[in-house]
Amino acid sequence: MLVFGMLLHGGCNSYKVKALPYDADLKRVVVVENSKVIVNDFVDVMIDEFGERGIKVSVAPSNYAAKPAEYIIQYNALQSWDCTTYLSDATIRVSRGDSVLAKGRYHHIGGSCSFDFFTKWRGTEWKMKDLYDELLKNYPRR
């Protein structure tokens, strides 16, 4: 019964995450806008998740030139179609200078052919929560 419950909750969702190391000086990150992403609340969810951990987020245009010690977030999110659109794949990368410090990927397994009627059409916040919890595990919610 427990295995069945786990399959219903996350059986068709895959997460791969490398957590952001703790830095007491991390108070602000800059999200570099990706105009190709059409998931309308993707950046809003990101801002909320970082904000709940006391990290302010600024959004910058795609041609933004980062300062050497600045934390930068680059992202991509894809939608698929099955009666309506749904978030099917997302990646987030946190870097500072030339170093990638953390990254995460969400993927809906099975695509439009999956029978995951419980989670396929869930919202961005629900799908990305586990990724952000792991990505930011060294930064507790306030």
Instruction: Encode pLDDT of 34-62 as tens digits.
Output: 999 988 899 999 999 999 999 999 999 99
| Cα 72 to Cα 52: distance, rounded to the nearest angstrom | 18
Sheet order of strands, 71-82 included: 13-18, 99-108, 84-96, 71-82, 28-32, 56-60
**C-alpha distances in Å from residue 112, one per residue of 15, 18, 84, 89, 136:** 18, 27, 10, 12, 30
pLDDT of residue 116: 55
Helices (H), 11-141: 42-51, 124-135
Mean pLDDT of 90-107: 96
Largest CA distance in the chain: 52
Taking 50 as the threshold, does the pLDDT of residue 10 lie above it?
no
pLDDT of residue 86: 74
Confidence band (pLDDT; 50, 70, 90) for 117?
low
Q: Hey, is 37 helix, strand or coil?
A: coil
Mean pLDDT of 123-134: 90
Mean pLDDT of 20-32: 97
State what percent of residues in the chain have pLDDT above 70: 79
